Amino acid sequence: MGRIGARLRHSAAAVTLKRMSNATRKRRPWNDKESSTQIVLLGTGTPGPDPARSGPATAIIVNGTPYLVDFGPGVVRRAAAAYQRGMTAFGPGVSGLRTVFLTHLHADHTAGYPDLILTTWIMGRKGPLEVYGPKGIEAMTKHVLQAWEVDIANRLHGMEKAPRSGYGVNPHEIMPGRIYTDANIRVTAFPVNHGELDDAFGFRLEAVDKTIVISGDTAPTPTLIENCNNCDVLIHEAYSLQTYRKVSRKWQAYRRKYHTSSRELAELANEVKPGLLVLYHRANPGGGTGIANLEDVLLDEIRELYKGDVVTGHDLDVL
């Protein structure tokens, strides 16, 4: 067991969550053609404005119903692009998105919120969004609707006569544990370690044919072992040690407190053995635009220590 793996397993902070037993569900290959569950990476970026990578956003489509995790900048345009590529579950104008989960309140994960609320309504959504997120999502929702109250009033009472129900949002502030269940999926939130941010979560999403874990932004934390063990797909953030060595001590300390290094992620993957490890949110705090943050460097660092299936995620990848 690696140093990080041992620290995670034996930490007193470990949380035991009731979940589907892997002993009773034979794991399919992550790319099983008969699987009805699809993962669409709508945004794989960071706070940096990379034109090739929108802000973090991941869609899980089960039996034709889309579920969204995070809504970074560009989320609606990426979902529209996925629709044009055949992911029809999003609906024309992305009006099919109704159920949303948020890992934490940082801007790179939430800056697409007004777009998600308003554009999908303008384009035909007739029912409210159901949004499950940390403490503060109620206040954020209220302020977004207030900020666009002139637009909303005009569309409701002007010539458009847009449906009142369509711009509505029902925010649900969550705690660790089971937060959502329907006929397609059940979702468990677990706390992660994102520095001084008190309310940050990862999610375990379980469909009949596939279990997917999304880390959110986090340093190594014991709850990931508890929730990722033998999952089908683990989507996890990381930073490379090459970039870590080039930033100041302040930013090295920041990375250790807020994010996960390539070595730490490799040790985690060796511990939990996901069917597929997907790298996203390739963090480079303190690096700015002056320190190259190459995806192949991060991938190679992980492959040196982890021999399972691992890929770098790109916007609009479908898994």
Where residue 8 sits, what CATH number does that domain have?
Answer: 3.60.15.10
State which amino acid sits at residue 92.
Answer: P
Phi-psi region at 124: left, alpha or beta (left = phi > 0; alpha = psi -120 to 50): left
pLDDT of 270: 96
Q: Do the Cβ atoms of 240 and 262 come closer than 8 Å?
A: yes
**Binning pLDDT at 50, 70 and 90, where does residue 29 land?**
low
- Which residues, including other chains, have CB under 8 Å from residue 280's CB and lie 6 or more apart? 41, 44, 56, 58, 235, 236, 237, 313
The count of structural domains within the chain is: 1
Lowest mean pLDDT segment, chosen from 46-55, 240-249, 283-292, 305-314: 283-292
> In a 10 Å sphere around its CB, with 0-12 CB exposed, 13-18 middle and 19+ buried, how is residue 250 labelled?
exposed
Is 319 inside a domain boundary? no
Is 300 inside a domain boundary? yes
Q: Do the Cβ atoms of 186 and 180 come closer than 8 Å?
A: yes
pLDDT of 21: 35
Is 288 inside a domain boundary? yes
Sheet holding 99-101, edge to edge: 37-43, 57-62, 65-69, 99-101, 129-133, 169-173
pLDDT of 32: 53
Rounded to an integer, what distance in angstroms lies between the CA atom of residue 80 and that of residue 90?
7
- Share above pLDDT 70 across residues of the chain, in percent, rounded to a whole number: 89
pTM: 0.88
Is the pLDDT higher at 18 or at 139?
139
Chain centre to alpha carbon of residue 296: 21
Is 92 inside a domain boundary? yes
Rounded to an integer, what distance in angstroms lies between the CA atom of residue 47 and that of residue 283?
9
Is 318 inside a domain boundary? no
Rounded to an integer, what distance in angstroms lies between the CA atom of residue 147 and that of residue 41?
29
Is 164 inside a domain boundary? yes
pLDDT for 216 beyond 70: yes
Q: Distance from first CA to last CA of the chain, Å, rounded?
A: 29
* Segments forming the whole domain that contains residue 187: 3-14+23-312
Rounded average pLDDT over 16-29: 39
pLDDT of 197: 92
Rounded average pLDDT over 259-282: 96
Give the CA distances from residue 291 to residues 177, 280, 287, in Å, rounded to whole numbers and listed in that order.
39, 18, 5
Is 214 inside a domain boundary? yes
- Which residues, including other chains, have CB under 8 Å from residue 21's CB and lie 6 or more apart? none
Q: Do the Cβ atoms of 191 and 223 come closer than 8 Å?
A: yes
Rounded average pLDDT over 210-232: 94
In 3D, which of 41, 94, 3 has the Cα closest to residue 237?
Answer: 41
What's the mean per-residue pLDDT of the chain?
89
Q: Give pairs for 49-54: CB < 8 Å, separation 24+.
A: 52/314, 52/315, 53/314, 53/315, 54/78, 54/112, 54/315
**Binning pLDDT at 50, 70 and 90, where does residue 27 land?**
low
Rounded to an integer, what distance in angstroms lies between the CA atom of residue 228 and that of residue 287?
30
Residue 283, both tokens? 């963090």
pLDDT in tens, 178-213: 999 999 999 999 999 999 998 999 999 999 999 999
Is 317 inside a domain boundary? no
